[in-house]
Structures are given as structure tokens and as C-alpha cells.
Amino acid sequence: GAVVSQHPSRVICKSGTSVKIECRSLDFQATTMFWYRQFPKKSLMLMATSNEGSKATYEQGVEKDKFLINHASLTLSTLTVTSAHPEDSSFYICSAMRGQTNTEAFFGQGTRLTVV
């Protein structure tokens, strides 16, 4: 199957700092990537849809100024958590689908963010 790589897998940062998470599709081009957040024993919650070359589409309740998404190329999307606070601590996961019509999602390995 296709490979999506997410980096870093774990990050600890201080309150008030910003953290950037990268999501790369290694063997296919992804015009669209998705960012999810997952709390312990909870479902994946879609945060935003990252569109190559245009602005991301955020789900209701997700602060776009807090979670900055950039999709500058067909293989890379980044999520920056700005001015992080302890409540931003979570597991962040990206996914991509191969092509515009495919429905099988390939997920990155996830990033565990801890804000202290």
C-alpha cells in the first residue's frame, strides 16, 4: 500500500511555543490531505482538509489561527500548533488518499504532542 510518513512521532514543548508537524506522501501525490486529532480512547476527529495550493478547509469548532495548515506541494502538508497550551496535548494524525476518486485513506503514524 501507499506510504504516508509523519514527523515527529513525539514532541514535548513548553506552553506558548509553536510546534510544526509534517505529513508526507512518499510514493504518490496527494492533492488533498486530512488532519485528525485523537484523544485517549476516543474517535479520530477531523480537524481540517488540507488542499494543495489553496487554503485549508477547517471543521466547525477548529480554530484556524491556532492550527495553521500549509500544503505547499503535492507530497507535503504541515500542521503548526501555534502558542500551544496543555489542552492542545493530543495525538495528531494525518491521512492522504491517492487520487481524487479513491476512498482508501493512508495514515501517517501519528504525532504525540505533549505541552508542558
Partner 1 sequence: SQKIEQNSEALNIQEGKTATLTCNYTNYSPAYLQWYRQDPGRGPVFLLLIRENEKEKRKERLKVTFDTTLKQSLFHITASQPADSATYLCALAGETGFQKLVFGTGTRLLVSP
Residues making contact with partner 1 (CB under 8 A): 1, 4, 6, 32, 34, 41-44, 46, 49, 91, 93-95, 97, 102-110, 112
37-54 per-residue burial string, b: 16 or more CB within 10 A, e: under 16: beeeeeeeeebbbbebee
Nearer to partner 1 by C-beta: 14 or 60? 60
CB of 87 to partner 1, least distance (A): 20
Nearer to partner 1 by C-beta: 79 or 94? 94
